[in-house]
């Protein structure tokens, strides 16, 4: 992780942003998170000493984004084991902290399985804790590797679909190093295009209501000196109509066996706009985000978030006023519809890019073949 603190060309700003790290001070192991609820104003860290603190950090979105949730969940199991908590209880609480991103349950399950296997083999509790930590570290490393491969595959696809170059890419939510052991998913592709001089503009949707685009993607894009412009989610339509978007690049929280893609709410309207305007709509996600046990979009559980996220504007620096601790922007008692994600049907997805390559057109058979190939590696 140390090289992620490397300074950028101007000598002032770190280029990579480690979203979490494992530390072992004399008081006992901890998982240190960059508190994403406080970005971009404040680069504050949140120290998790047990799984319960981490569960709360996951719910509040201090740590978030599908791949990182998997990594955090795995470290959470390791933390519970290392600190002598009930590992089964911790694993259940962590896996259930948020329902949509399949990576969370996958990451938790992987560390839990390593812990159980070592316990069954040796009966030694510290050794079992070490096995859980090794599993978390392996997942962390693999995610960084997958990220680099997704970036390469995604850039190759962009160049193939847009041979004229000078890509103007629209993205939604946040998919960079804040959600990954590496440089992310969709954002990593845009970053690769930027580094090779082929990104003309990154259009960043602000991503209501929690502003992951404005707060986090703009923060990452600025650090990399990318040419980016922030827009309200509502402005995407007129941007497409003006012919200013060459491709949409987004991540995913869960991809069903039929290729339906759950991602941050607002992704589906972008897919509809992209189809109308004949613009490629590309999903970038690691194979671990594909869930063969979820047959279709209707089977994906979409997390419903508290209404105050819509009826109030929250920021750590503002005085506490509304029920959620923010400034009310709607009359008191207003009900809000606040799904965290929406589901895009496979027929609107031009391609799904993974570390194993791209699937296009998106079909059940092609996805199954990709997953099988990945299991053989």
Binding residues (CB under 6 A) for ligand MRU: these are 61, 64-67, 101, 173, 175, 179, 184-185, 212, 251-253, 263-264, 340
The CA distance from 15 to 249, in Å, is 21
Q: Which two tokens stand for residue 354?
A: 């993974």
**In the complex, minimum distance from the CB of residue 304 to ligand MRU, in angstroms, rounded to a whole number:** 12
Nearer to ligand MRU, 29 or 73 (CB): 73
Nearer to ligand MRU, 115 or 254 (CB): 254
Which residue number, 173 or 248, has a Cβ lying nearer to ligand MRU? 173
Supply the minimum distance, in Å, between the C-beta of residue 142 and ligand MRU.
15
Measured from the CB of residue 344, what is the shortest distance to ligand MRU in angstroms? Answer: 12
Taking the C-alpha atoms of residue 107 and residue 71, their distance in angstroms, rounded to an integer, is: 6
- Which tokens go with 153? 């595959």
In the chain the first and final C-alpha atoms are separated, in Å, by: 25
Name which of 65 and 326 has its Cβ closer to ligand MRU: 65
The answer to whether residue 253 is catalytic is yes
Residue placing its CB nearer to ligand MRU in the complex, 15 or 217: 217
Pairing of strands 30-34, 45-48: antiparallel
E-strand ranges in 3-151 read: 20-23, 30-34, 45-48
3-state secondary structure of 219: helix
Nearest distance, CB of residue 327 and ligand MRU, angstroms: 21
Query: Quick one: tokens of 262?
Result: 């759950």
Comparing CA positions, the residue from 220, 133, 224, 138 lying closest to residue 181 is 138
Cα-based distances in Å from 78 to 62, 114, 134, 207, 315:
19, 10, 9, 33, 32
| Rounded least distance, CB 216 to ligand MRU, Å | 8
Name the minimum Å distance from CB 172 to ligand MRU.
7
Q: Of 66 and 170, which has the nearer Cβ to ligand MRU? A: 66
- DSSP code of residue 338: -
The smaller minimum CB distance to ligand MRU, of residues 15 and 171, is found at: 171
* Token pair 């192991």 in the structure block, residue: 29
CA distance 363 to 350: 11
Query: Which among 140, 17, 124 is positioned nearest to 81, based on CA atoms?
Result: 124
Cis peptide before 209 (omega within 30 of 0): yes
Question: One of 253, 293, 296, 342 is an active-site residue; which one?
Answer: 253
Any idea what the Cα angle at residue 364 is, between residues 245 and 296, rounded to 5°?
85
CB of 101 to ligand MRU, least distance (A): 6
Are the C-beta atoms of 248 and 233 separated by less than 8 Å? no
Contact 349, 261 (CB under 8 A): yes
Residue nearest to ligand MRU as judged by C-beta position: 251
Active site residues: 253
């Amino acid at each position: 992780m140390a090289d992620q603190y490397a300074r950028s060309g101007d000598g002032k700003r770190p280029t990579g942003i480690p979203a979490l790290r494992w530390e072992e001070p004399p008081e006992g192991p901890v998982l240190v998170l960059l508190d994403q609820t406080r970005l971009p104003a404040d680069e504050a860290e949140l120290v998790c000493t047990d799984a319960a603190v981490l569960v709360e950090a996951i719910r509040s979105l201090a740590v978030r984004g599908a791949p990182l949730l998997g990594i955090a969940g795995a470290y959470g199991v390791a933390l519970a084991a290392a600190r002598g908590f009930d590992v089964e209880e911790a694993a259940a609480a962590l896996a259930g902290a948020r329902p949509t991103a399949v990576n969370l349950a996958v990451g938790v399950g992987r560390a839990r399985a390593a812990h159980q296997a070592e316990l069954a083999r040796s009966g030694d509790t510290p050794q079992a804790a070490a096995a859980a930590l090794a599993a978390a570290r392996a997942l962390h490393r693999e995610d960084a590797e997958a990220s680099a491969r997704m970036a390469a595959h995604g850039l190759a696809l962009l160049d193939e679909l847009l041979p004229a170059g000078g890509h103007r890419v629209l993205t939604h939510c946040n998919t960079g190093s804040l959600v990954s052991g590496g440089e992310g998913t969709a954002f990593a592709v845009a970053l690769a295009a930027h580094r090779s001089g082929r990104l003309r503009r990154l259009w960043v949707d602000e991503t209501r209501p929690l502003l992951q685009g404005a707060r986090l993607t703009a923060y990452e894009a600025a650090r990399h000196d990318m040419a980016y412009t922030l827009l309200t989610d509502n402005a995407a339509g007129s941007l497409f109509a003006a012919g200013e978007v060459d491709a949409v690049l987004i991540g995913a929280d869960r991809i069903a066996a039929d290729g339906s893609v759950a991602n941050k709410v607002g992704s589906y309207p972008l897919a509809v706009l992209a189809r109308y305007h004949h613009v490629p709509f590309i999903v970038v996600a690691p194979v671990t985000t594909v869930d063969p046990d979820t047959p279709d979009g209707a089977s994906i559980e979409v997390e419903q978030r508290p209404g105050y996220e819509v009826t109030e504007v929250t920021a750590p620096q503002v005085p506490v006023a509304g029920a959620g601790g923010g400034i009310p922007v709607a009359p008191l008692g207003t009900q809000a519809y606040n799904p965290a994600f929406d589901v895009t049907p496979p027929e609107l997805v031009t391609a799904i890019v993974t570390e194993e390559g791209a699937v296009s057109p998106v079909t059940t058979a092609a996805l199954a073949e990709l997953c099988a190939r990945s299991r053989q590696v």
